[in-house]
Amino acid sequence: MARTGVARFCIPAALGYGARASGPIPANADLVFQVELLDFKTKAEVENMNRAQASDPAATKDAPPQQ
């Protein structure tokens, strides 16, 4: 899926909560999620982030999430 792409995921009740109700979700309800991909990181970017975190975990422990 490309940036700004939209996907709809449908999960049948049998794979979701089944015959159990959960909060506002009634029993035997199909679950439908619409997801928009705003941005993503490349494999290289993720690997660099993981290397930086592994080399200095104290520095990133309390760091705010990156946007």
Q: Cα 62 from chain centroid? A: 21
**Predicted local distance difference test score (pLDDT) of residue 57:** 64
Q: Where are the domains of the chain?
A: 5-53
Dihedral of CA atoms 22, 36, 10, 25 in degrees, nearest 10, equals 20
User: From the CB of residue 40, how many other CB atoms can be counted at a distance below 10 Å?
Assistant: 10
pLDDT digits (tens, 9 = 90+) for 7-26: 999 999 999 999 999 999 99
Contacts of the segment 54-60: beta carbons below 8 A, 24+ positions apart: none
pLDDT digits (tens, 9 = 90+) for 14-58: 999 999 999 999 999 999 999 999 999 999 999 999 999 998 866
CA angle 37, 39, 42 (to 5 degrees): 120
Q: Measured between alpha carbons, how far is 35 from 18 in angstroms, rounded to an integer?
A: 23
